[in-house]
Amino acid sequence: MKDGVNGVALGVFVFFFLAVTVLGFFAARWRRAADPLHLDEWGLGGRSFGTWVTWFLLGGDLYTAYTFVAVPAAIFAGGAAGFFAVPYTIITYPLVFLFLPRLWSVSRRHGYVTSSDFIRGRFGSKSLSVAVAITGIIATMPYIALQLVGIQAVLDVMGVGGSDGTNWFLKDLPLLIAFGVLAAYTYSSGLRAPALIAFVKDALIYIVIVVAIIYIPYKLGGFDDIFSKAGDAYAVPNKQGVPRGSLVTGPKAQWAYATLAMGSAMALFLYPHSITAVLSGKSRDTIRRNTTILPLYSLMLGLLALLGFMAIADGVGAGNPKYNNQLAIPQLFENVFPSWFAGVAFAAIGIGALVPAAIMSIAAANLFTRNIYKDLIKPDATPAQETAVSKAVSLVVKVGALVFVLTMDKTVAINFQLLGGIWILQTVPAIVGGLFTRWFHRWALLAGWAAGMFYGTWKAYEQSSPSQSHFGGNADMIPWIGEKGYIGLTAFVLNAGVAIVLTVVLRAFKAPAGVDETVPADYTAESAPELPSPASPPDTTVTPGLPEPA
């Protein structure tokens, strides 16, 4: 690590940060809506984004600063097991191609802003809707915190603030400034701000990855030397006599690897921020096209993961058993790149944190507003009141994430983010199942959700590692296989089993199933129904099976 502040890198970083700040505030005027006080406008960008805007928005949403830092850091720390992120982002797109267009269509037809809106409408259950909303909010909070951890890692490597500061205020001042700017333009511009900034973020990340994958191996003697040095480093045992990692996943870890990839793929697009970005698309075709071109990001992710091997070959953290793995990639960039290009790389990570943090805070705020405030507190809230509450809650969410980062050990945030994946997976039966069938009973889905949440949290708590007595991993023994596998997927199987069995029982006893406000045509519709003009007479056509209009 270079001594003092890297002035050139910091200057480049500040330049790009200021540029995206201007874009963030300008976004309030970009595609300005006729009714800016409606939650559709602030929280979903007017549902008006085309294929390319949605592609950049989803890419900026899913491939975050934490991805940029954590995926290669996982390779750096443990080897090939960290590559699970690559297959899971490949598996997820065929899966979401099946259900996301249906979610977009029914949401457009009924004005749903969140997945919990759909649950309430499909199953007629506020309890289940609130359960899904709370799951989304608590899973999103630590995810936002980890974006701020990404910014903090970059600032630390540049010598600005970070762990070397003595005065807590001065140490965290740069992070506080970044947070304040993020909060301000998100409050002002809503989802349009991260949509516009995502263009800059993704362009910078692609430039940095292309340069890194060519320039760094050249500086380090080629890939042969990189893999050789990484293999030697992984073979060195720790205090427990266990090798640090390996270049190839061992036989005993393959079930854990495969189930983690599969479970993560099932959960990725059910995070509130993913659904928010999807519902902002202007057409069903926009969503279908995006599921076919988004795998381009998986190519970038595979190249990004190789940086973990390069950091080992460069000697980052060598001889320091307590080295913070999250600093490995920023430190590699500072060691290898000229200062000006290191600044570009740091800007890519920093801006890569701002885009998803903004979308996540908006998504969490929408969940609270629509499914807690409107459903439980003020059912007669106007669209303007919904927007005002959502704006305020988005600030509260960011403050909560900031407090999380400043007051807790970073491993705590990582543990809660891993829990978030387990929790989000428990919404699959209600959301994905509900998109294809009304067979499940609402009470059975709620019981299955509770069983999966309890089991997943309990088993995750039981895990230990050399450095942590609890939450030390996300793999546990799969009872019917006898191999270790992803806890979230096991909890999901339990969840689905409970929902199926109880549905059979409840239907046998003819328990009230709730009112479904959707019809089959809603799930394949290309657009929302047009409202009649004021001069047009009301439609008095009687649809079979429906009551006559009043």
Helix, coil or strand: residue 406 = helix
Q: What pLDDT, on a 0 to 100 scale, did the predictor assign at position 476?
A: 81
CA 320 and chain centroid, separation: 31
Tens digit of pLDDT for each residue in 91-144? 999 988 999 999 999 999 999 999 999 999 999 999 999 999 999 999 998 888
Q: What pLDDT, on a 0 to 100 scale, did the predictor assign at position 413?
A: 65
- 339 Cβ contact list (under 8 Å, min separation 6): 6, 7, 8, 9
Tens digit of pLDDT for each residue in 262-293? 999 999 899 999 999 999 998 899 999 988 88
Average pLDDT of 310-325? 82
Q: What pLDDT, on a 0 to 100 scale, did the predictor assign at position 278?
A: 92
Decide which of 77 and 369 is more confident. 369
| φ, ψ (nearest 5 deg) of residue 485 | -145, 175
Q: What pLDDT, on a 0 to 100 scale, did the predictor assign at position 429?
A: 96
What's the chain's average pLDDT? Answer: 85
Answer whether residue 416 shows pLDDT above 90: no
Average pLDDT of 516-543? 63
**Residue 115 and residue 136 in contact, taking contact as beta carbons nearer than 8 Å:** yes
Decide which of 351 and 66 is more confident. 351
Topology classification of domain 11-106+140-408: Hydantoin permease (1.10.4160)
Helix, coil or strand: residue 157 = helix
Angstrom distance (rounded) from CA 172 to CA 141: 20
Positive or negative: CA dihedral 28, 63, 477, 479? positive
**Structure token pair of residue 228:** 């050789």
In 3D space, the residue among 319, 25, 314 whose CA is nearest the CA of residue 189 turns out to be 25
Q: What pLDDT, on a 0 to 100 scale, did the predictor assign at position 425?
A: 95
Answer whether residue 210 shows pLDDT above 50: yes
**Structure token pair of residue 271:** 């995070």
Angle at 141 between CA 27 and CA 454, to 5 degrees: 145
Q: What pLDDT, on a 0 to 100 scale, did the predictor assign at position 153?
A: 82
Tens digit of pLDDT for each residue in 119-132? 999 999 999 999 99
**Structure token pair of residue 529:** 């129904």
Angle at 311 between CA 157 and CA 214, to 5 degrees: 105
Answer whether residue 319 shows pLDDT above 80: no
| 477 sits in which H/E element | strand 475-477
Angstrom distance (rounded) from CA 305 to CA 503: 43
Tens digit of pLDDT for each residue in 452-493? 999 999 998 888 776 666 776 788 887 767 788 899 999 999
In 3D space, the residue among 246, 279, 323, 301 whose CA is nearest the CA of residue 1 turns out to be 323
Tens digit of pLDDT for each residue in 355-391? 888 899 999 999 999 999 999 999 998 888 999 999 9
| φ, ψ (nearest 5 deg) of residue 444 | -65, -40
Q: What pLDDT, on a 0 to 100 scale, did the predictor assign at position 6?
A: 77
Average pLDDT of 151-162? 79
Domain segments of the chain as ranges: 11-106+140-408
Answer whether residue 533 shows pLDDT above 60: no
Band (156; pLDDT cuts 50, 70, 90): confident
Least confident of 168-177, 354-363, 502-511: 168-177
Tens digit of pLDDT for each residue in 2-40? 567 778 888 999 999 899 888 888 887 776 665 666 788
Q: Quote the pTM value.
A: 0.89
